Amino acid sequence: MSEAKTSNFQIAQFFPIVNWLKNYTHQDFDGDIFAGIITAILLVPQGIAYAILAGLPPQMGLYASILPTAVYALLGTSRPHIAVVGRVPKTDIYRNIARHAVETWHHLLLVRIDESHLFQH
């Protein structure tokens, strides 16, 4: 692999935005703006409230709610993760079949879809 490709691969490992920004569309932008507004509506008051409860100035709550979100936008990805899952033997726990030794059934397909990190909880 050439040195330039190796360098780009290393950058993309830490900044996933490098990979998906090439294919970013106006429709993606509209969805991201909407998600950003909803996130701000939820996180800003929550951050201020937690700061006040902790005895800190409300500004600290703003920093705590805005800064991590901005960093996540650069370092994270909002693409959903889709996994086929199976049951871990003798438990009620389900895991990704590509990573774990699990039970599967030929007549049943279990799929788990994880949305963006911010909207999982």
Q: Residue range 32-58: average pLDDT? A: 90
pLDDT tens, 60-77?
A: 998 888 888 888 777 766
For residue 94, what are the contacts with CB-CB under 8 A and spacing of at least 6?
85, 86, 87, 88, 102, 110, 112
Q: Collapsing DSSP states into helix, strand and coil, what is residue 74?
A: helix
Q: What is the pTM of this model?
A: 0.49
Place of tokens 């033997």: 89
How confident is the prediction for the chain on average, in pLDDT? Answer: 76
Residue 114 in this model has a pLDDT that exceeds 70: no
Residue 18 in this model has a pLDDT that exceeds 80: no
Place of tokens 């902790």: 54
Q: Where are the domains of the chain?
A: 3-75, 81-119
